[in-house]
Amino acid sequence: MLKKEDIDRALVLIRNAKRICCMCHRNPDGDAIGSIAGIAELCIQIAPDTPVKLFCVDPSPPLFSYLPWVQRIEQELHPTEGDVFIVVDCADPKLTEYHERFPQIFGGTWSSICFDHHETNKGFGTVNFVIASAASTCEIIVAFAEGAGLAISSEIATSLLTGFYTDTGGLLHSNTTPNVYRTVARLLRAGARHQTMTQSVFRTAKLSTLRLWGRVLEKIAVTEEGGAISALTESDFRATGADYSELTGAIDYVNAVPGMRFSLVLTERGGKVKGSLRTLRDDVDVAKMAATFQGGGHRKAAGFAVEGKLVPETRWKVKKPSIESGIKN
Ligand SMILES: [Mn+2]
């Protein structure tokens, strides 16, 4: 899966670093959290005397707190010369939200290593492990660990298993390849805490989350183009007391409406409208749909953000009575 020379180059960068800074995208999901925690612990094996720091502009959602590393994720990044930056699960530097203040990290001035599985990733690191056929970034990190001859402890296995499960919707999405099952088996053998992870990630939901999902489901509308669309305004978030991260997973229910070409959930957030697109069909490419709004992602799951707010629009049409019902009266 990975080139030996790239693995060697990455190992040299990590060994020569004064400090290792791992970072993931804003609103981190299970793959971002799992891969940042997994790579951080692998870095300790590679360079035991080098400080390892974790950064994300948003803290980890509490459902991942069974991973000890998430407590160490910091928001304030103060990069210095000699740091090496490991960027995980980020299709684009802007998703870290550190790109404007610290362009050196992403422009090749400072050493960086990029682990990602998004098709739209152009490879902005000094060394890039960008594999679009991987179901999760965690899958690429397992390949890296194996290629580099690193040990996968039970803690690392639990972290990485998280990304496998969250990015495949619990091994249900079409990206669940034979290699996903093989690697999951490998992680279970390494002692991954499977039940702790699945219960926390898939079987626990706050009341505010369930209320928010209730609104998402209640507002589903079906369009003539074959889209199941729902939308949440800022007032929906205020009324339910849910925060933005609690929306994760709701779209899979919107995507469950039979016969649809695609599903879309729109949300308002700080003067922007974010769209999450999904499809179950092979002949629909939602990454292309997202690209028309400067977004990106995968063929079956993509997203975008545009400036503005949501305004409801209601369409009514008059249906003429049929002949039989017309002559009854
Ligand atoms: Mn991912």
3-state SS, one letter per residue, for the chain: CCCHHHHHHHHHHHHHCCEEEEEECCCCCHHHHHHHHHHHHHHHHHCCCCCEEEECCCCCCHHHCCCHHHHHEECCCCCCCCEEEEEECCCCHHHHCCCCCCHHHHCCCCCEEEEECCCCCCCCCCEEEECCCCCCHHHHHHHHHHHCCCCCCHHHHHHHHHHHHHHCCCCCCCCCCHHHHHHHHHHHHCCCCHHHHHHHHHCCCCHHHHHHHHHHHHCCEECCCCEEEEEECHHHHHHHCCCHHHHCCHHHHHCCCCCCCEEEEEEEECCEEEEEEECCCCCCCHHHHHHCCCCEECCCEEEEEEECCCCCCCCCCCCCCCHHHHHHC
One domain, residues 62 and 22 = yes
Which pLDDT does position 325 carry in this prediction? 57
| pLDDT, averaged in runs of 10, over the chain (329 residues) | 97 98 96 98 98 97 94 96 97 96 92 96 97 98 98 98 96 95 98 98 93 97 95 97 90 94 96 96 96 93 96 87 64
Say which residues have a Cβ less than 8 Å from residue 285's Cβ, sequence separation at least 6.
279, 299
How far is the centre of ligand 1, averaged over its atoms, from the C-alpha of 325 (Å)?
55
Residue 31 sits in the same domain as residue 157 = yes
Shared-domain flag, residues 240 and 99: no
CA 167 to ligand 1 centroid distance, Å: 6
260 CA distance to ligand 1 middle (Å): 25
Single out the residue in 201, 216, 251 at which a domain terminates.
201
Tell me what pLDDT residue 32 has: 98
Q: Which residue, 29, 139, 138, 25, is CA-closest to 92?
A: 25
Are residues 138 and 247 located together in one domain of the fold? no
Q: How far is the CA of 321 from the centre of ligand 1 (A)?
A: 51
**How close is the Cα of 261 to the center of ligand 1, in Å?**
23
The pLDDT of residue 322 is 80
Q: 166: CA distance to ligand 1 center in Å?
A: 8
Q: How far is the CA of 35 from the centre of ligand 1 (A)?
A: 9
51 within domain boundaries: yes
User: Ligand 1 centroid to 30 CA: how many Å?
Assistant: 8
Quote the ligand 1 centre to 181 CA distance (angstroms): 17
Please indicate, yes or no, whether residues 24 and 126 belong to a single structural domain of this protein.
yes
Q: Please report, for the domain that includes residue 285, its CATH number.
A: 3.10.310.30
Same domain, 63 and 196: yes
Q: How far is the CA of 116 from the centre of ligand 1 (A)?
A: 7
Q: pTM for this structure?
A: 0.79
Do 64 and 99 belong to one domain?
yes
Is the residue at 329 inside a domain?
no
Q: Taking a C-beta distance cutoff of 8 angstroms, is the pair 67, 197 a contact?
A: no
39 and 103 in a common domain: yes
Residues 242 and 167 in one domain: no
Backbone angles phi, psi at 226, to 5 degrees: 85, 35
Q: Is residue 325 part of a domain?
A: no
- Domain tally for the chain? 2
Tell me the CATH number at 81.
Answer: 3.90.1640.10
Asked if residue 315 is part of any domain, the answer here is no
Residue 161, by phi and psi: left (phi above 0), alpha (psi -120 to 50) or beta?
A: alpha
- Assigned domain for 80 exists: yes
Domain, as residue range, for 253: 207-307
In a domain, 318, yes or no: no
Tell me, yes or no, whether 187 lies in a domain: yes
Q: How far is the CA of 132 from the centre of ligand 1 (A)?
A: 10
87 & 192 share domain: yes
Ligand 1 mean position, distance from CA 84 (Å)? 22
Q: Which one of 134, 169, 201 terminates a domain?
A: 201
Length of the chain: 329
Whether 327 is covered by a domain: the verdict is no
Q: 111 and 232 share a domain? A: no
Q: How far apart are the first and last CA of the chain?
A: 73
Q: Which of 151, 168, 201 is the last residue of a domain?
A: 201
- For helices 30-46 and 137-147, give the axis angle rounded to 10 degrees: 20
Ligand 1 centre to CA of 39 (Å) is 14
Q: Which of 91, 162, 160 is nearest to 130 (CA)?
A: 91
CA of 66 to the centre of ligand 1 (A): 19
Q: Are residues 217 and 124 in the same domain?
A: no
